[in-house]
Amino acid sequence: MCDQACRTYDVFISYASTDLALAQRLYDRLVVAGFNGDDTKNPRIWFDKKRLNHGCDWPREIKAGCESSRIVLPILTPRWKLSEWTRYETYGCPAGSGNCYDHK
């Protein structure tokens, strides 16, 4: 586990795959707020649709993304509760939090 000095990302977006539209809206809002989501030299948002490549070891990549993020921002929905991955991302990671994104 690394300390704050070695964190690559400010935010890791955790969501159930069926909530992709909500996650995309959150990502877009963070980018507008100045989090430079697409800046490969200064990536500050870990969002799977921007970070995972075809054929990658996605469980390993997700774990690494969680561990290298300052906070994990879960999109808490009824579907989120059913996913083992989202619960791991939020509570099993050192950066996990109980913060909630209000999608309204």
**Ordered domains of the chain (ranges, CATH):** 4-92 (3.40.50.10140)
pTM of the model: 0.75
16-28 confidence digits (pLDDT tens): 999 999 999 999 9
SS3 87: helix
From the centroid of its chain, how far is CA 59? 13
Tokens of 50: 């921007």
Residue 15: is its pLDDT beyond 70? yes
Q: Looking at this protein, which amino acid is placed at residue 101?
A: Y
Structure token pair of residue 89 = 């991302």
Q: How far apart are CA 90 and CA 71, in angstroms?
A: 9
> pLDDT tens, 28-81?
999 888 877 566 566 689 998 888 888 888 888 888 888 888 888 889 888 888
